[in-house]
Amino acid sequence: MNGRDANGVTISDVAAAAGVSRQTVSNVLNRPARVAPDTATRVRRAIEELGYRPNRAAQNLRERASRCLGLKIPAPIGVSNFLDRFLYSLTAAAGAAGYHLLLFAPTAVDEELATYEDLIRTGTVDGFVLADVSARDRRLPWFAERSIPFVCFGRPWGQEDGPYTWVDVDGAYGIEQGVEHLIGRGHRRIAYLGWPEGTGFGDERRRGWLRAMGRHGLETDGLIGVCGEGVAVAVAAAERMLARPEPPTAFVCGSDTHAVGARLAGGLDADGRPRVGVVGFDDSPAASLISPRMSSIRQPLDEVARRVVSLLTARVQGSDSPPEGVMLRPELVARE
């Protein structure tokens, strides 16, 4: 940076300034051991003075890699800023690994696969992070056939035996922790409120509840509630459950949205204390809208992101390690 336009500084300019060839400059940067120490310092000084930075397009062309990971950004639905948080962790993890995150949004649903293919074939990205894996997601076999590198956040439900690499959080374990927490606070009639059957992760969380309840010999009949997205429907579902003859005294929930619904349905007593115990899932900041704040099960998003990036970059770089699933444990954040 000496006032001149530094954008046009190439490796040859540096080479000329340092009185060496361009390859030596390249070696200083990429294979320092090959270069004599005082040559290296001379070159480094020239790099510094000229403000040289290697051109990414040229590197990408030569290396046949873009050092970009692609992520489809889904249409924003729901209240959670889950994606916000994961995106941040993912971007940071990618950066630490020398990669960037490249976002795209296919315009039409039937364009989605074409968009993925295009990004790979043009070399715009080296691989994909799939953060929105649905049950029997048809993208997974499609990618595998074309040997397009990808890693899922979330198990490939319905095709667990496929040769897929994923990172996920053990939702059943998390819910079990939630049940234990409520039992510890004296609850015995603990209900589960979550999504209708069919979402892999939702079903798993429900199984976690069943297992924990069974371990303590607690009743589960009539204690399951399901509803779709949205606080309003969650409130209605929880109200129906509370209106039954032997209502639950607490809820573990498939999501914070469900949990907010349960809390609102239960209401507060005269002292401003919640009438029902509630444990949510995901520990979204939105859960803090409810006062007093709810307990919730926190997913280790930073760790998830790091593992996703490390698995994906390995595959991108041609490591033909076998498909691998990584399961992480969530953590109960207990609040008053």
In the complex, the residues that contact a second copy under the rule CB under 8 A are: 6-7, 51, 53-58, 60-61, 64, 66, 68, 73-76, 78-81, 83-85, 87-88, 91-92, 95-96, 100-105, 107, 118, 120-124, 230-232, 235, 260, 264, 284-286, 288-291
Give the burial string for 139-172 (b: 16+ CB within 10 Å, else e). Answer: bbeebeeeebbbbbbbbbbebeeeebbbbbbbbb
How many CB atoms neighbour CB 300 within 10 A?
15
Q: If binding is defined by CB under 7 A, does position 61 make contact with DNA?
A: yes
The residue (of 18 and 265) whose beta carbon lies closer to a second copy is 265
77 binds DNA (CB under 7 A): no
CB nearer DNA, residue 18 or residue 262: 18
Among 6, 12, 246, 285, binds DNA (CB under 7 A): 12
Q: Using the rule CB under 7 A, is 63 a contact of DNA?
A: yes
Q: Is 318 in the site for DNA (CB under 7 A)?
A: no
Give Cα 73 distance to the centre of its chain.
12
Cis peptide before 245 (omega within 30 of 0): no
With CB under 7 A as the contact rule, which of the stretches 21-29, 167-175, 238-246, 253-261 interacts with DNA?
Answer: 21-29
Q: Which residues contact 62 (CB under 8 A, 6 or more apart)?
A: none
| Whether the Cβ atoms of residue 211 and residue 172 lie closer than 8 Å to each other | yes
Supply the minimum distance, in Å, between the C-beta of residue 284 and a second copy. Answer: 8
**Which has the closest alpha carbon to 130: 96, 162, 175?**
162
Does position 62 bind DNA by CB under 7 A? yes
- Residue 329 interacts with which of a second copy, DNA, none, CB < 5 to 8 Å by class: none
User: Residues 19, 22, 24, CA angle at the centre, nearest 5°?
Assistant: 80
- State the binding partner of 236 from a second copy, DNA, none, CB within 5 to 8 A by kind: none
Q: Report yes or no: 95 and 274 within 8 Å, Cβ to Cβ.
A: no
- CB count within 10 Å of CB 96 equals 12
Under the rule (CB under 7 A), what is the footprint of DNA? 8, 10-12, 19-24, 26-27, 29-31, 34-36, 39, 52-55, 58-59, 61-64
